[in-house]
Amino acid sequence: MTLSRRTLLKASITSMILTAFSTSAVQAKTLPHSQATKRLKAKRLQAGNTIGLISPASNVWENEEISFAIDVLKSFGFKVKKGKYLYQRYGYLAGNEKERAWDVNNMFADPNVDAIFCLRGGYGSPQVLPYLDYELIKRHPKALIGYSDITALLNAITAKTGLITFHGPIAKQNFTDYTLANFKKVLFNPKAPISLASPPAFEPKEGQAEQDNRLSVIHQGSAQGELIGGNLSLMVKLIGTPYEPDYRNKILFLEDIEEAPYRIDGMLTHLSLAGRLQQVAGIIFGKCTDCEAESAPSLSIEQVLFDRFAQLNIPIIRGLMIGHIDDLATIPIGAKAKLTTTPPALTLQETAVI
């Protein structure tokens, strides 16, 4: 088949862009966290905004799921710009790392895009980190929203640029009433202080008590600091890399899914051996969905948390609405918050958008 001149030209331009990303990958590794001393805030969301939709990790199985995600975003009154590689698939990845990074960079660079939503999580976000243009992102601060594997992207961008990012819903989900209310009070019409991730109201009846969304205190106290965190396995993957956040005096929130207690134990041990848990001001362990033991005998998740956190003299609570759950809170990474244990609560002390 003979390629047209226009096709060859487009291919050449794309190759040049991807080559530029490859070159910048080496440079990105040398960017120190000191360059991110000034925190940046994106503009708040409102109907009429244009949302960039990207897949920086895995893709969905069928294109109709992307159409569903677009309809979800349009329900807010948003216009949607699709990433160039949104429909790309490469096994368990949504295209190769340079293509996925191209979409991230391009959405930040596009003056017509107001905020960026991730289609889903999955696998592969850490692969794009060397190819991101962090200086470009600093010049064009926008809300970036997602969770799960997107944890790597959120924390790296906040660490490298100072931009507050948002651990919150993906585009490929229906928003429950709880998820919608928490999303809007953080990103649409924020008024600090803002209660974050508290369980939905439970109306007790005779013979009943709250069972699914209980809050428990592992260690008493209170603390203030900027928020970092997300998916535990992704936070562990960032340790020792140039994209790892600074843990010092931060409030760390964690969650995970389909990890047996021994694996949660191992990852928390890794954070401890690396000295990270000893640096934080407070810890929130949200939900661990489908984290049952694969075989007996086993420690419970509760016992794992008490064991791994036993030597930490900081406030630690468990059970806030952070995780792979339908009722999902939106948590701004990099924003200032207060953690208390009496009562157990997380409060945002500032608006995370302007």
DSSP characters over 320-341: -S-SSSSS---EEET-EEEEEE
Q: Report which residue type is found at 154.
A: L
Burial of 135: CB neighbours in 10 Å, binned 0-12, 13-18, 19+: middle
- Mark whether 325 and 217 lie in a shared domain: yes
**Of residues 217, 227, 341, 218, the one with CA closest to residue 281:** 227
Q: Which entry of 148, 198, 244, 259 is annotated as an active-site residue?
A: 148
**Res 238: pLDDT:** 98
- Greater confidence (23 vs 52) lies with 52
More confident residue, 5 or 269: 269
CATH no. for residue 109?
Answer: 3.40.50.10740
Same domain? For 74 and 124 the reply is yes
* pLDDT tens string 154-177: 999 999 999 999 999 999 999 999
pLDDT at 191: 97
pLDDT of 178 above 90 = yes
Residue 253 lies in a domain: yes
Q: Is the pLDDT of residue 118 over 50?
A: yes
More confident residue, 36 or 206: 206
Same-domain check for residues 336 and 235: yes
CATH number at residue 338: 3.50.30.60
The catalytically annotated residue of 97, 99, 244, 255 is 255
Pairwise CA distance, residues 66 & 69, whole Å: 5
- What's residue 59's pLDDT? 98
Whether residues 238 and 307 fall in one domain: yes
Q: Are residues 154 and 234 in the same domain?
A: no
Catalytic (active site) residue 270: no
Asked if residue 240 and residue 152 are part of one domain, the reply reads no
- Asked whether residue 22 is assigned to any structural domain, the reply reads no
Residue 33 annotated in active site: no
Mean pLDDT across the stretch 75-99? Answer: 98
Percent of the chain predicted with pLDDT > 90: 88
Task: Reply yes or no on whether 324 is catalytic.
Answer: yes
In this prediction the pTM is 0.90
Q: Tens digit of pLDDT for each residue in 273-292?
A: 999 999 999 999 999 999 99
pLDDT given at position 37 = 62
Indicate if 338 and 219 belong to the same structural domain. yes
Distance CA 146, CA 161 (A): 18
Question: Please, what is the average pLDDT of the chain?
Answer: 92
Q: Let me know if residue 25 belongs to a domain.
A: no
Is residue 326 situated within a structural domain? yes
Residue 80 pLDDT: 98
Q: pLDDT value at position 294?
A: 86
Regarding whether 76 and 125 lie in a shared domain, the answer is yes
**263 and 341 fall within a common domain:** yes
- The secondary structure of 252-279 as a DSSP string is EEEEEES--HHHHHHHHHHHHHTT-TTT
Structurally, how many domains does the chain consist of? 2
Q: What is the pLDDT of residue 296?
A: 87
Query: Is residue 19 assigned to a domain?
Result: no
The 10s digit of each residue's pLDDT in 123-146 is 999 999 999 999 999 999 999 999
222 and 339 both lie in a single domain: yes
Domain range enclosing 268:
194-201+213-348
Asked whether residue 15 is domain-assigned, the answer is: no
User: Is the residue at 2 inside a domain?
Assistant: no
